[in-house]
Amino acid sequence: MLLSYKQQKLIIIVGFLIIPLALLVTFSFYPAVKLLYLSFTSWDGLSPTAPFVGLHNYRIIFTNSTMWTVFLHNFSYFIGGIVQNLIALFFAVILNSAIRARNLWRVLIFLPYVLNSVAISYMFKFVFQDTGAFNLILQHVGLSGLAHSWLGNTQIVNWTLAFVSLWKFMGFNMVIYLAALQSIDNELYEAATLDGATSFQQFRFITLPNVMAIVQINMLLTVSGALEVFDIPFVMTNASPDTATFVTQTVNTAFTFNNYGLASAMGVVLLIIVIIVIGIQRKLLGGGEDVI
């Protein structure tokens, strides 16, 4: 049977797409729709039926203040994320210029991103224990006055955890900034140097505007990451009341308190919050091209 070129093209496209689409629908779309459905029920995880309760779960979320105080903990990760972006941009600019062994530095900085998140959290848990590696090193170099209870002190613990997140993701941000920097035409810099611009002026007037769209993307990732952080507090401090985040609370609600309906509603609310925050951020950081 001779198929026309158009038909062959269609068959090949469909043939390649059908498996990924099937997986996407099964493991992404269907659960998302089911989540939305469950958020309007009070399913307890075991009953064959899920009783419909309308907006009851959403009402609980918006009238219960304890749900929102945990966002204070997420805030630490947000600040950590901003610092992380600044440091990443700094390293990207430095490692974009011609310095010795710059590939080695790039690899070393990126390596934490490749490591498994749970393994990192577990490792840092032992590093930051009261008698752990970090305090020991401080003692050895004579800075024992700086030794704190990194995980026990209520004021410090969230910043400790934010640092672990920074350590992991800074390399990833840096790599993205590097790619953006390399797309800037070198002639612009040469022209600027000829005209007598200092390196800071070059950074401010050439680098930054061209990189702004990428900064936006990274900030989007940072903000949504900060709102959704789960593994670091869960592994390092078992999501204790000092360090609980919105997602650890959601998981608790579902699996400890058998309230899958409320937990699903919390998931939907988190999505709405992320959309709102990203919207605000886009307005503030200016339009830029629609890179997404």
Partner 1 sequence: MAKWRSILRVSATAGIGFALIAGCGNAANNATNNAGGGAAKTTSPGINPAQVQGSITFITHRTDLVANGTFQKWANQFKKLYPKVTSVKFQSITNYADDVKIRLNSGAYGDALMIPPGVTMQQMPDFFEPLDNLGLDDKTYFGRYDAYQGKTYGLASGVDGNGLVYNKAVFKKAGLSGPPKTLNEFYKDCAKFKKMGITPIALNYEAKWPLGVWDQLAPAIAKNANYFNTLKNNSAPFTPGSPIAQNLKIAYTIVKNGWAEPDFKVTDWEGSKSDFAKGKDAMMLLGNWAISQFESKGIASKNVGFVPFPYDNTGKHMAIIGPDYFYGVAKNSGNKPTAEAWVKFMIEKSNYANSQGFIPTLKSQKATLPQIAEFEKTASKLLQSVPGDSTVTQIENTAQIDIGGGGYVQSLLNAPNFNQYMAKLNQEWNSAKQQVSP
Kindly list the residues in this chain that would bind partner 1 in the complex (CB under 8 A). Answer: 44-48, 125, 129-131, 149, 151-152, 154, 237-238, 240-242, 252-253, 255-259
Choose between 173 and 237: whose C-beta lies nearer to partner 1.
237
Residue 248 Cβ vs partner 1, minimum distance, rounded to whole Å: 11
Complex with partner 1: residue 53 or 109, whichever CB lies closer: 53
Give the shortest CB-259-to-partner 1 separation in angstroms: 6
Report the residue number, 202 or 242, with the smaller CB distance to partner 1. 242
97/139 with CB nearer partner 1: 139
Q: How far is the CB of 84 from partner 1 (least distance, A)?
A: 25
Cβ proximity to partner 1, 48 vs 54, nearer residue: 48
In terms of CB distance, is 84 or 135 closer to partner 1?
Answer: 135
For 62-131, the DSSP string reads: HH-HHHHHTHHHHHHHHHHHHHHHHHHHHHHHHHHS--TTHHHHHHHHHHHHHS-HHHHHHHHHHHTSTT
- CB 137 to partner 1: min, Å: 18
Shortest Å distance, C-beta 268 to partner 1: 19
- Residue from 40, 26, 42 nearest 253 by CA: 42
- In the complex, least distance from residue 224 CB atom to partner 1, rounded to whole angstroms: 26
CB of 207 to partner 1, least distance (A): 43
Q: How far is the CB of 65 from partner 1 (least distance, A)?
A: 11
What's the CA gap between 41 and 21, in Å, rounded? Answer: 29
Nearer to partner 1, 7 or 238 (CB): 238
**Of the two residues 130 and 190, which places its CB atom closer to partner 1 in the complex?**
130
DSSP codes of every residue in the chain: -PPPHHHHHHHHHHHHHHHHHHHHIIIIIHHHHHHHHHTTB---SSSS---B-TTHHHHHHHH-HHHHHTHHHHHHHHHHHHHHHHHHHHHHHHHHS--TTHHHHHHHHHHHHHS-HHHHHHHHHHHTSTTSHHHHHHHHTT-GGG---TTT-HHHHHHHHHHHHHHHHHHHHHHHHHHHHHTS-HHHHHHHHHHT--HHHHIIIIIHHHHHHHHHHHHHHHHHHHHH--HHHHHHHTT-TTT--HHHHHHHHHHTS--HHHHHHHHHHHHHHHHHHHHHHHHHT-------
